[in-house]
Structure 1
Amino acid sequence: MLDIASLTRQVRRNCTLSDARFAGHYSVCGLVMRLRDLYKWEHSLDPYEEHAASQVLDWIGRKETLWETLQESDFDDLVIDGQRIDPFDTETVNRLIEPLHLFYGAGYAHSMKPSFLLATIDRKSAVNGYPVVFLSKEMARDLLTLPALTQDDTIVVRQSAAKLYVWDRMLYLNQSGRPFFRFALLACGIAEKDVGSLRHCLPSVAQVLHDTFLYHEIGELSDCCFNRQIWRDIIAALPHTPTELLVRTVKDVLADTGPHGTLRHIRKTQQTAALGFYAAFLDGLGKKLFPEIRATVAGFMTDGDWQAVAAMISSVHQKAETMAFTIIDLYRNGTRDHDSVWVNETLNRLYIEPLTA
């Protein structure tokens, strides 16, 4: 019989190994935010619950000490019913544990960080022909708080992680996003006087963003513009570089503005709150490379013109598509000449440097 406790320990160890190796890739603030989420998960706290700073800092100190002892360790194979399995062989692992309503996730995230997950399955469904697995309790996880992901052409919604993710986005929302956030909350029926209580807002925001996360993954699966294998090759060749951030941003926007993506779904269903939250939480390169998204939503806040939103979505998709084709061509040229440095510098000069001029 499958030993769930043993499997949980094995997956948690690989999670810790991954965190130990890649903690240095984050900024100090970025690492602290991820550690806070991990702390809340380990201590079964709600997103808005906080323990004393001294208690959290002691825990972080112990975590970093543990990481130092694991820097040179290799990921362990998973042993299930006496069978030794590569930790990235998700298909085999899930075939063995699915009868127990468990889900195992493994793959590579930003900067090619290995990421592992073990959780209980809440329910399964299909949306637009794509299988969707909704997870409930997470038994093992690493530093990454991802609300949803795609694995083996299946969309996986991490319901508990999604709440943490939404809470973080609200808590650290920058000043430029706040007008859109207030507009979206009003569309949810939350009055201006109640906006000050983020805890009060969390259920409504999380509910609205459920479709945002889901249709982003559908958009990625159905995207035909940015060849998935080439995209993976670029990420693998240039991890932790401006180019990685660029290609991830372009692919995300292609997914969201594609025929089956988030913004198309928002436009089709005329979800005013979802449109406001999308603009509010748009940040980083996405906000800078595609300023027309926020500009159009700002106009929508006044005139409610869904036709203008539709035109913006088509325009942004075409712009992102052109960028994707340029990135692919440059990468192929660089690969032919074995010069990934040239690819990174050229893309940086084309798309990123002008943003700071």
Structure 2
Amino acid sequence: MLELSALIDTVQKNCTIADARHARDMTMCTFLLEMREYYRWEMEIPYGARLPKDELGDWLNTRESLWNAVEEEDFAPLPLSAAGIDPFEADDINRALIPQGLVYSSGLGHFRKPHFVLAELKRAEVRDGVQVLVAGCEYARDLIAPPAAMRDGTIFLRMDAVRRLLWNKYEEWQWKEKDTALGRAFAYYDFEHDIERGLDRMAEAESEAMILHEIGEARAETLLGEDWNAMLGHLKSRHAELLARAVRDHLADCLVTLPTLLEREAIGSLHFYLANLSGLRRALFPALLQAYEAWLGSGDTATLASVVKAAEAHWLDAARHLSATYHRDPAQGDAQLNALAGGDLAGLRL
């Protein structure tokens, strides 16, 4: 039988090592916000409950000291065999864990930060030929909790992270203008009259939208080939990587996410999608914003659907252009993509 406590301790230690090496790369504002939510998870404090200021401050100081102590340590093998299993061999690990109702994920996220999570397995399914593993209660995790990710051809969805993301969006929205795409999403799920039920409904709907996005990522990866992954793995500039990911996100969403949401008339998810269109993704796709405004005025999704259909070819061409630019001269490709991200986006914008 699995020694669950030893497994949790090992995964959590690897999470701590990853945080020690990368957490302080964030801006101070983002770092403090993420640490507050990590403390809430670790201490099992309910959503919306006020965090104890003094205890949080002590915990932050203790965590910094722990990071300093483990930063140079190697990631530990997971105690699932006599020799242990490399923590990045998620397929081998899951072969041992899934029959016991557990699921594990590991991999490199944005800017090559390692992520590890061990959780309860809620369900496993296959969508469009892609395995989907849905995690529930999380027993070990690192500071950043991506709600969904594609790892080695498998979609890993974290329901706890989805709910935390939605709750944080709701709390943030309380202090902002109400008549926005985000406000329309919360209104659709009737947060005003029953927050808990609204959160349940929204988490279910938005987790489905996240799965659709990851299926879109799988299709985009097939279209773009190994050159794209090779480029993404070697980019050193944060701005270059953000640009590449933004273009691929748009391609994935125009291939799968948005056409499916429009076909299903998933109104709440469409509002939430536009509410989260920010940064480079927003700057690159003003046509989608204009089509969204037209939909609000007319109630007819035809313009929105037309823009999304036309955008599919545009983002595929844009992604191939970025890849070709990089591979023509890999020594200078990073700088060239970085200059594109920080300069004139007219050649990429739709």
Q: Given the superposition, is the C-alpha separation of residues 187 and 99 from structure 1 closer, same or farther in structure 2, using an over 3 Å criterion?
A: closer
CA offset digits 1:221-257 (Å, max 9, x no partner) = 1225752533332232224520000111111111111
Q: Given the superposition, is the C-alpha separation of residues 9 and 233 from structure 1 closer, same or farther in structure 2, using an over 3 Å criterion?
A: same
**Secondary structure at the residue paired with 2:137?**
strand
Whole-Å separation in 1 of the counterparts to 2:292 and 2:178:
11
What's the CA shift for 1:141?
A: 0.5
Aligned to 1:179: 180
1:74-153 equivalences in 2 (<5 Å):
74-153=74-153
Aligned to 2:208: 211
CA offset digits 1:248-300 (Å, max 9, x no partner) = 11111111110xx2111111101111111111121111111112222211211
Contact in 1 for aligned 2:237/2:338 (Cα 8 Å)? no
CA offset digits 1:113-149 (Å, max 9, x no partner) = 0111111101122233322221111111001221111
Q: Given the superposition, is the C-alpha separation of residues 326 and 270 from structure 1 closer, same or farther in structure 2, using an over 3 Å criterion?
A: same
Q: Given the superposition, is the C-alpha separation of residues 72 and 34 from structure 1 closer, same or farther in structure 2, using an over 3 Å criterion?
A: same
TM-score calculated relative to the size of structure 1: 0.89
Whole-Å separation in 2 of the counterparts to 1:315 and 1:353:
17
Contact in 1 for aligned 2:240/2:334 (Cα 8 Å)? no
Moved over 6 A (4+): 197-200
Unaligned runs of at least 5 residues, structure 1:
none
Aligned to 2:231: 234
Aligned to 1:342: 335
Whole-Å separation in 1 of the counterparts to 2:212 and 2:224:
19
The 10-residue stretch of structure 1 (128-137 or 100-109) with the greater mean CA deviation from structure 2:
128-137
Whole-Å separation in 1 of the counterparts to 2:346 and 2:263:
36
**Secondary structure at the residue paired with 1:80?**
coil
CA offset digits 1:138-164 (Å, max 9, x no partner) = 111001221111223222211111111
Q: Given the superposition, is the C-alpha separation of residues 301 and 341 from structure 1 closer, same or farther in structure 2, using an over 3 Å criterion?
A: closer
Q: Which amino acid aligns with 2:252?
A: A
Contact in 2 for aligned 1:94/1:104 (Cα 8 Å)? yes
**Alignment RMSD:** 2.5
Whole-Å separation in 2 of the counterparts to 1:10 and 1:344:
39
Aligned-pair identity in percent equals 27
Whole-Å separation in 2 of the counterparts to 1:28 and 1:215:
32
What's the CA shift for 1:200?
A: 7.5
Aligned to 1:51: 51
What's the CA shift for 1:109?
A: 0.3
Aligned to 2:189: 188
The 10-residue stretch of structure 1 (163-172 or 54-63) with the greater mean CA deviation from structure 2:
163-172
Contact in 2 for aligned 1:231/1:247 (Cα 8 Å)? no
1:1-357 equivalences in 2 (<5 Å):
1-172=1-172, 178-189=179-190, 194=192, 201-223=198-220, 227=224, 229-258=226-255, 261-335=256-330, 338-348=331-341, 351=344
Contact in 1 for aligned 2:103/2:120 (Cα 8 Å)? yes
The 10-residue stretch of structure 1 (99-108 or 161-170) with the greater mean CA deviation from structure 2:
161-170
Contact in 1 for aligned 2:189/2:198 (Cα 8 Å)? no
Unaligned runs of at least 5 residues, structure 2:
none
Whole-Å separation in 2 of the counterparts to 1:229 and 1:43:
42
What's the CA shift for 1:47?
A: 3.2
Whole-Å separation in 1 of the counterparts to 2:315 and 2:179:
26
What's the CA shift for 1:48?
A: 2.7
Q: Given the superposition, is the C-alpha separation of residues 239 and 100 from structure 1 closer, same or farther in structure 2, using an over 3 Å criterion?
A: farther
What's the CA shift for 1:2?
A: 2.2
**Secondary structure at the residue paired with 1:145?**
coil
What's the CA shift for 1:317?
A: 2.3
Contact in 2 for aligned 1:184/1:273 (Cα 8 Å)? yes
CA offset digits 1:141-191 (Å, max 9, x no partner) = 00122111122322221111111122233334596895112333343355x
Whole-Å separation in 2 of the counterparts to 1:176 and 1:284:
19
TM-score calculated relative to the size of structure 2: 0.90
